[in-house]
């Protein structure tokens, strides 16, 4: 289905349900209207503010897991998708097999790098656009390194940088099959710059890993803010309005997706100019 964009829409065309409140799809960082299947949940965290969760059928195109595949089956090519099928699909697990659920990291690609924190001094950036502008020209060099995606592939020198944003905004999030939370972080919604980057809260390493405490604290902070019932799955959750956050993480080049489909939800991907990420997130404060 082609994206539908209107001002102050009052009905969700995917399901026919009435919107809980009028949705302004012209606001920066909103999903395509015809991907929203539920907008009823509002969270009011202790840190203040009120945020509506827009649950969508947008998934990363490369994701191959039970939930993502079920969402595609329930929606793609369907003239009138059934809400019951969508609800069943989004409840399916993102993981395959025993021992992969929960918080432990369940992937293999560049495991050594993803579960380590860079050694460099923390660099401060005003916003995501400023970092992305610096990183885009570096992609050809990173491609030329032919970085291995094997589990023991550690950080290359260009990835030994720690990046901090005192004020960024969380627009959307999903959960991947490796148990990482995939955050789409961008500039102030009132900014002239509409630029987003991926920042990942990693699944946890064994407790004897040097990075365990930092990664555990970041993951706990994210889960506590949303509560177990409101954590994202394979289908992206969008946040209305975007959630302010203070976030720090290690620079990472996503060699796995340096060819083919890049990460990101379809509605925001056109404004995600680089496959560099912050991965793992080592510190996060939301709200």
5 band by pLDDT with thresholds 50, 70 and 90 = very low
Which is it for the CA torsion 71, 272, 198, 194, positive or negative?
negative
- What local confidence, expressed as pLDDT, does residue 130 receive? 97
Q: Which two tokens stand for residue 176?
A: 């991947």
101 band by pLDDT with thresholds 50, 70 and 90 = low
- What local confidence, expressed as pLDDT, does residue 112 receive? 98
Among all chains, which residue has been given the structure tokens 């998934």? 59
Output the 3-class SS for 76-131: CCCCCCCHHHHHHHHCCCCCCCCCCCCCECCCCCCHHHHCCCCCCCEEEECCHHHH
Report the Cα 178 to chain-centroid distance in Å.
Answer: 13
Angle at 61 between CA 246 and CA 188, to 5 degrees: 25
Among all chains, which residue has been given the structure tokens 């589990």? 151
Among all chains, which residue has been given the structure tokens 């990472």? 252
Q: What are the tens digits of pLDDT across the range 116-147?
A: 999 999 999 999 999 999 999 999 999 999 99
96 band by pLDDT with thresholds 50, 70 and 90 = low
Q: Are 38 and 55 in contact (CB under 8 A)?
A: yes
- What local confidence, expressed as pLDDT, does residue 98 receive? 44
Report the Cα 12 to chain-centroid distance in Å.
Answer: 23
CA pair distance 261, 157, nearest whole angstrom = 25
Average of per-residue pLDDT across 173-182:
94
Q: Is the peptide bond before 232 cis (omega within 30 degrees of 0)?
A: no
Q: Is a pLDDT exceeding 50 seen at residue 55?
A: yes
Mean of the per-residue pLDDT values of the chain: 92
Domains in the chain: boundaries: 9-90, 111-286
Q: Is a pLDDT exceeding 60 seen at residue 2?
A: no
Average of per-residue pLDDT across 38-48:
93
The gap between the terminal CA atoms of the chain, to the nearest Å, is: 34
266 band by pLDDT with thresholds 50, 70 and 90 = very high
CA pair distance 113, 99, nearest whole angstrom = 22
Q: Which two tokens stand for residue 31?
A: 């999903």
């Amino acid at each position: 289905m082609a994206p539908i964009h209107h001002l102050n829409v009052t009905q969700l065309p995917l399901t026919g349900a009435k919107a809980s409140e009028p949705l302004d799809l012209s606001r920066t960082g909103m999903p395509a209207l015809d991907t929203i299947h539920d907008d009823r949940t509002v969270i009011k965290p202790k840190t203040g503010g009120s945020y509506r969760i827009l649950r969508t059928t947008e998934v990363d195109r490369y994701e191959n897991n039970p939930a993502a595949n079920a969402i595609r089956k329930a929606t793609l090519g369907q003239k009138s998708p059934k809400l019951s099928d969508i609800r069943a699909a989004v409840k399916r697990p993102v993981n395959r097999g025993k021992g992969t659920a929960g918080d432990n990291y369940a992937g293999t690609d560049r495991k050594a790098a993803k579960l380590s924190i860079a050694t460099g001094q923390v660099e401060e950036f005003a916003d995501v656009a400023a970092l992305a502008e610096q990183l885009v020209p570096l992609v050809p060099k990173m491609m030329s390194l032919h970085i291995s995606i094997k589990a023991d592939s550690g950080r290359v020198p260009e990835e030994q940088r720690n990046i901090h944003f005192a004020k960024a905004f969380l627009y959307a999030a999903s959960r991947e099959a490796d148990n990482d939370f995939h955050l789409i972080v961008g500039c102030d919604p009132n900014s002239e710059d509409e630029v987003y980057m991926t920042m990942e809260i990693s699944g946890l390493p064994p407790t004897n890993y040097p990075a365990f405490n930092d990664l555990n604290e970041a993951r706990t902070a994210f889960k506590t803010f949303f509560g177990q019932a409101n954590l994202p799955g394979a289908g992206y959750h969008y946040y209305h309005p975007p959630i302010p956050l203070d976030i720090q993480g290690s620079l990472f080049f996503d060699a796995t997706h340096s060819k083919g489909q890049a990460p990101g939800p379809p509605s925001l991907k056109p404004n995600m100019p680089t496959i560099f990420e912050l991965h793992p997130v080592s510190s996060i404060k939301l709200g």
